[in-house]
Chains A and B, each alone.
Chain A
Amino acid sequence: MLSAESLASIDREVAKYPADQKRSAVMAALRIALTERREQGQTPEARCLTPEVIEYVANYLEIAPVAAYEVATFYNMYDMKPVGKYKITVCTNLPCALSGGVSAAKYLSEKLGIAIGETTADGKYTLLEGECMGACGDAPVLLVNNHKMCSHMSPAAIDQKLAELE
């Protein structure tokens, strides 16, 4: 279900913990699984964590599937619902909101023609609201696909970013 490279990355994470505590690597393993699915998946449904993937990861780590499911549902950066090729998460917490975070989100929403929480019809973009990303000084900030942080996202910067993502 996962590629050899992903399994090798999971093994590297597992090696960080004592041999009888493989479960400690569950967050990293889910992250690696999600990254592979996002990169390889061709449809929104194929880019998120499904129960089958979670069960596979749990079995790989020799833990109960429901224990991995608890972790996957607890943290909202694990995508449990179909997601576009580019998941854009805009911070709208108070400090960001005071510096244009909310208007950045609104601009994105209008530009992409989707409301927050939705995915474009072509399955390319998903727009989400996020919680504080620890970079209030750089507001407005947004995250692309969980890993890429973008700062000072004025409308012009957003236009440029979207052009890059084409």
Chain B
Amino acid sequence: MLEIEIDGKKLTAPQGSTVMEAAHSIGTYIPHFCYHKKLSIAANCRMCLVEVEKAPKPLPACATPVTDGMKIHTHSDLAKKAQAGVMEFLLINHPLDCPICDQGGECQLQDIAVGYGNGASRYQEEKRAVPGKDMGPLVSAEEMSRCIHCTRCVRFTEEIGGFQEIGMAHRGEFSEILPFLGKTVNSEISGNVIDLCPVGALTSKPYRYSTRAWELSRRKSVSPHDGLGANLIVQVKHNEVMRVLPLENEEINECWLADRDRFSYQGLNSDARLKTPKIKFDGRWHDTDWETALAYVVKGLNGVSADHGKDAIGFLTSPHSTTEELYLAQKLARAFGINNIDYRSARSDFRADAAKQGAEWLGSSIVELAAAKSVLVIGSSLRSEQPLLASRIRQASKKGMALNIIHVADDELLMNVHAKLIASPLALVNAVAQVLKAVVAIKGGDSTLDLAQVDVSAQAQAIADSLCAGETARIVLGAVAQHHPAYSELLALTQEIARISGAGFGVLSEAANSVGAELVGAWAQGGMSAGEMIASPRKAYVLLNTEPEFDGYNSAASVAAMKQAATVIALTAYQSEGLLDYADVLLPIAPFSETAGSFINMEGRLQAFNGVTKPQGEARPAWKVLRVLGNMLSLDGFGFNSAEEVRSELLAKGDIAQRLNNSLSSIAANTAAKAGVVRVGEVPVYSTDAICRHAPALQATALAAAPVARIAADVFAAAGLAEGELALVKQGGATLRVPAHLDASLPAGVVRLAVARAETAMLGGMFDTIEIERG
């Protein structure tokens, strides 16, 4: 540690730290624009000039390493004069359009100009003008004259996003920040450049010109999308969510937000929101009041259970619902005598249910996962499933983590990958078994699974070597693995690899509250799983925050099951086309922003939040709806007065950490690889839940473009297709014409075609066989 002095205050700072870091450690503020703690040092704005004794001229605090005995003055005459001089230069070309600038009121340039600049400028000449740029539907770069060339956005895309999408072209006075000509910024975490921009050059396109920063109230919340549980600041005006910003939490989202977390709020204000209860009779929808609608639901449930038995009713819930909602839904179902409840609509393999010993989770904290020396990710399109976790793993892979991948497509992860094994979904179990066999060979243990027929490939060997060599190794299963028809086998093999190699293992929870749904028992447990409820259709369905055509493993079968049911009761925040078609009652419930509740993220962390606005129209928090339904069905134990009471009841079942367990009590796996043409149907990044499906800006991005069939070379050639022409896709009796694209990143026998999109909703299962021919 080095002894230094800042403004007369003595302190110690570690070797290699900078003056800026040392100053921040004692709470001394040094003005800056280009410096950011998560980005590399550029030292190009020169705002952080400070006086260092014995140095001949002011030095930039962000780029000056501390040395022993250094005496720094941040407010001496020399430092102040330097700062005022830099400020004057920065303002030379900066337009004086603060009154019409979106950044006005929360602008670092404004604040620092007031704090450190002179009252007036001596500059009389013309200011330069820079044409606006098109960075896509999320980030507005219309007023690039405001740019002060700090290059934070450039460094963000390169260092955090993994691919430099923004650059600074030209030189000197002609410098311009721009994306490559004709391209937009397509990163899944691009919105962070809006926060990073210290001026009003990069602003939020959906939020632009809607309010002033000081008119907004800041309320804390938690992102309802992926399993990370990013902490949010939701900003509200007149009971409307105007924008979402990150709430810094180093252990979860650091200071970032994925675009899905940041821009999905538009869905909360969508016209498609359901604002009154609706009942369908005489083939038409009628608005009604809550009493009538709930009485109708009670009558429906009692009617079906009297005519066909309780088992004829199925509850499909969503892992994007709050813990309290899921707890009450399963409590209501079970108290009424229905055990058919499941949150896992997107899954297809439930064979491991009997062997479950606890709630599935990541198996470690997020920080521990990123700190592991070796990580194996099985079946995950990381960047679309977990955008921010992918960014954290990217940073870790730069710092020496050996990242290994087993996946169904050779996706561009924009990070350092140590070894990867790409296999068709039909060979995915075999691929994981190869790693197990190699691990057994290295560690000498004995697996209870039959591996005699498995041939270890060089890639599997490299993965096994990495897992066994790392001091700390972790294996995680992504959404592709969880939706896979052999998930139980993938889990079993993973458990064996972990047991023999000494690695930890877990799943990348795909939704904000997957772990919560597991913990409260909103999965089969004595009843039918989601898959069984679709395969052998029920007479009545209760849907909580679920749209089966988008959320189901097999959308065609899910819709067919809904259509044949005598009654479908939907608790939903949106009136979607599907629900209007097959449902009989729509009960408007509040999304996460309008209800108190909690999410339990992938690491088992319970994060409670309060509603940030009042529910829209007649919508009510789902926990209240379920409470009233419980009372109307004369069930005991539904006398809750608040979401907190529900939470304390569900938490009284035991400590969360004690109840998390990925291990299965018995395991089995058929390790033979099969041949055939199979679909890889993934949920696109902005189709994961109803909120982002209704967010227009997200839906306008390149990542949400209309689905196309990406086809492996062998299938492409066999079908005689030409690049870009329409292909006829057949699955489960349904056909679809989509543009075909040859994709060299796919293993043989694979057709990649997204699910959870209206365009493909008539097709069948995510990883089922598929036929393709010239169309």
Chain B residue contacts of A67, Cβ below 8 A: 158, 164, 167
Q: Mark B517-539, 1 if CB is under 8 A from A, else 0.
A: 00000000000000000000000
B381-392 vs A, CB cutoff 8 Å, 1 = contact: the mask equals 000000000000
B180 at the interface (CB under 8 A from A): yes
Contact of B165 with A by CB under 8 A: yes
Contact A74 B165 (CB under 8 A): no
CA distance A51 to B166 in the complex (A): 15
Option from A63, A64, A66 in Cβ contact (under 8 Å) with B178: A66
Whole-angstrom distance between the alpha carbons of A69 and B181 in the complex?
9
Complex CA–CA separation, A66 to B171 (angstroms): 14
Complex contacts, B166 vs chain A, CB 8 Å:
66
Closest Cβ of chain A: how far from B167's Cβ, in Å?
4
In the complex, what residue of chain B is closest to A50 when comparing beta carbons?
Answer: B181
Given A51-B181, A51-B182, A55-B180, A64-B158 contact (CB < 8 Å): yes
A73 at the interface (CB under 8 A from B): yes
In angstroms, Cα B163 to Cα A64, docked, is 7
User: Which residue of B has the minimal Cβ distance to A66?
Assistant: B167
Q: Chain A: which residue is nearest B167 at the CB level?
A: A66
A69 to B180, CA, bound (A): 7
Size band of the interface chain A makes with B:
10 to 19
Give bound CA distance, A64 to B179, whole Å: 10
Say how far B177's CB is from chain A's closest CB, in angstroms: 10
Contacts of B168 in A (CB 8 A): 70
Q: Give the distance to chain A from B39, nearest Cβ to Cβ, in Å.
A: 16
Residue of B nearest to A72 (CB): B169
B:142-184 near A, CB below 8 Å? 158, 163-171, 178-183
**Is A65 positioned at the interface, with any CB of B under 8 Å from its CB?**
yes
Interface string of A54-95 (1 = CB under 8 A from B): 010000000111110110011000000000000000000000
Cα distance A63–B165 in the bound complex, in angstroms = 11
* In the bound complex, CA of A51 to CA of B179 (Å): 12
The CA of A74 and the CA of B163, in the complex, are separated in Å by 20
Q: Is the CB of B182 within 8 A of A70?
A: no
Task: Kindly supply a per-residue 1/0 record for chain B positions 172-199, scoring 1 wherever the CB is within 8 Å of any chain A CB and 0 otherwise.
Answer: 0000001111110000000000000000
Contact: B169 with A70, CB < 8 Å?
Answer: yes
Q: Given A64-B158, A64-B164, do A73 and B182 touch, yes or no (CB 8 Å)?
A: no
State how many angstroms separate the Cβ of A153 from the closest Cβ of chain B: 27
List, in ascending order, chain A residues with CB within 8 A of B169's CB. Answer: 66, 69-70, 73-74
CA distance A70 to B179 in the complex (A): 10
CA distance A70 to B158 in the complex (A): 14
Q: Are A74 and B167 in contact (CB under 8 A)?
A: no
Given known A-B contacts A64-B165, A66-B166, A51 and B180 have beta carbons under 8 A apart: yes
- Which residues between 107 and 159 of chain A lie within 8 Å of chain B, taking CB atoms? none
* Minimum CB–CB distance for A79 against chain B, Å: 14
0/1 string, B736-772, CB within 8 A of A gives 1? 0000000000000000000000000000000000000
- The answer to whether B158 and A65 have CB atoms under 8 Å apart is no
Describe A's contact surface by its main secondary structure.
helix
Residues in chain B near residue A69, CB distance under 8 A: 167, 169, 180-181
Q: How far apart are the CA atoms of A51 and B180 in the complex, in Å? A: 8
Min distance, Cβ B164 to any Cβ of chain A, angstroms: 4
- If the complex has contacts A74-B170, A74-B171, are A66 and B165 also in contact, measured as CB distance less than 8 A? yes
Q: What separation, in Å, do the CA atoms of A73 and B158 have in the docked complex?
A: 19
Check if B180 sits within 8 Å of A66, measured CB to CB. Answer: yes
A141 CB → nearest B CB, Å:
23
Within 8 Å CB of A65, what residues of B? 180, 183
* Cα A103 to Cα B171 with chains together (Å): 28
Residue of B nearest to A55 (CB): B180
Of A55, A63, A67, A70, most B-chain CB atoms within 10 Å = A70
Please measure, in the bound complex, the distance between the C-alpha atom of A65 and the C-alpha atom of B180, giving whole angstroms: 6
How far does the alpha carbon of A63 sit from the alpha carbon of B171 in the complex, in Å?
20
Shortest CB-to-CB span from A76 to chain B, Å, is 8
Q: Nearest-CB distance from A109 to chain B (Å)?
A: 24
Residues in A with CB closer than 8 Å to B170 are 73-74
Question: Min CB distance, A93 to chain B, in Å?
Answer: 17
B168's nearest neighbour on chain A, judged by CB, is: A70
* C-alpha spacing A61/B291, complex, angstroms: 67
B183: chain A residues at CB < 8 Å are 65-66
* B164 x A66 contact (CB < 8 A): yes
Structural contact, A64 and B180, CB atoms closer than 8 A = yes
Chain B residues with CB below 8 A from A74, complex form = 169-171
A55 vs B183: C-alpha distance in the bound complex, in angstroms? 11
Distance between B498 CB and nearest chain A CB, rounded to angstroms: 32
- Residues from chain A with Cβ under 8 Å of B165 in the complex: 64, 66
Measured CB to CB, the closest approach of chain A to B155, in angstroms, equals 12
Interface of chain A residues 17 through 63 with chain B (CB within 8 A): 51, 55, 63
CB pair B179 A66 closer than 8 Å: yes
Q: Which residues of A contact B179 (CB under 8 A)?
A: 66
Q: A64-B158, A64-B165 are in contact. List 14 more A-B contacts (CB 8 A).
A: A51-B180, A51-B181, A63-B164, A64-B164, A65-B180, A66-B167, A66-B178, A66-B179, A66-B180, A66-B183, A69-B180, A70-B169, A73-B169, A73-B170
Q: Which 3 A-B pairs have the closest CB atoms?
A: A66-B167, A64-B164, A66-B180
9 contacts between A and B (CB under 8 A): A51-B181, A55-B180, A64-B180, A65-B183, A66-B165, A66-B166, A66-B178, A66-B179, A69-B181
